[in-house]
């Protein structure tokens, strides 16, 4: 593969970063629930929970100093990254509110 093909592939990646305000006492339970859901599938736990999604990935990262959870998504298109981040944000909201 030539360098211009590699550059083209890098340029296709889109990033989205959301911050969701969550009560301090719910951050740990949200992260445990997401970890349990991801178990059995492909996921990583460095710096949070990283789950493959829509040709890219979503990273759920609890903020160390704020009552919030950060959702960072990367995919091949803006729409796919935004969709992945929005889906995960909705899922986290559901976990918090039951």
Tens digit of each residue's pLDDT (9 = 90 or more) over 50-66? 888 878 888 888 888 88
CA distance 62 to 72: 11
Handedness of CA 44, 46, 49, 54 (dihedral sign): negative
- Which residues does residue 56 pair with via DSSP β-bridges, in sequence order? 53
Homologous superfamily (CATH) of 13-97 is Alpha-D-phosphohexomutase, C-terminal domain (3.30.310.50)
Instruction: Provide CB contacts within 8 A for 34, sequence distance 6+.
Output: 49, 51, 60, 92, 95
Task: Please tell me the total number of residues recorded for the chain in this structure.
Answer: 98
- Which residues does residue 23 pair with via DSSP β-bridges, in sequence order? none
Enter the pTM of the model.
0.72
Ranges 13-27, 40-54, 81-95: which has the least confidence: 13-27
């Amino acid at each position: 593969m030539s360098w211009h093909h590699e550059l083209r592939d890098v340029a296709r990646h889109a990033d989205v970063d959301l911050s969701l305000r969550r009560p301090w006492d719910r951050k740990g339970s949200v992260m445990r629930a997401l970890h349990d859901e991801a178990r059995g599938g492909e996921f990583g736990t460095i710096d949070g929970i990283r789950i493959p999604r829509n040709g890219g990935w979503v990273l759920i990262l609890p903020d160390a100093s704020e009552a919030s959870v950060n959702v960072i998504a990367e995919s091949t298109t803006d729409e796919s990254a935004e969709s992945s981040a929005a889906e995960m944000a909705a899922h986290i909201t559901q976990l918090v509110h039951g």
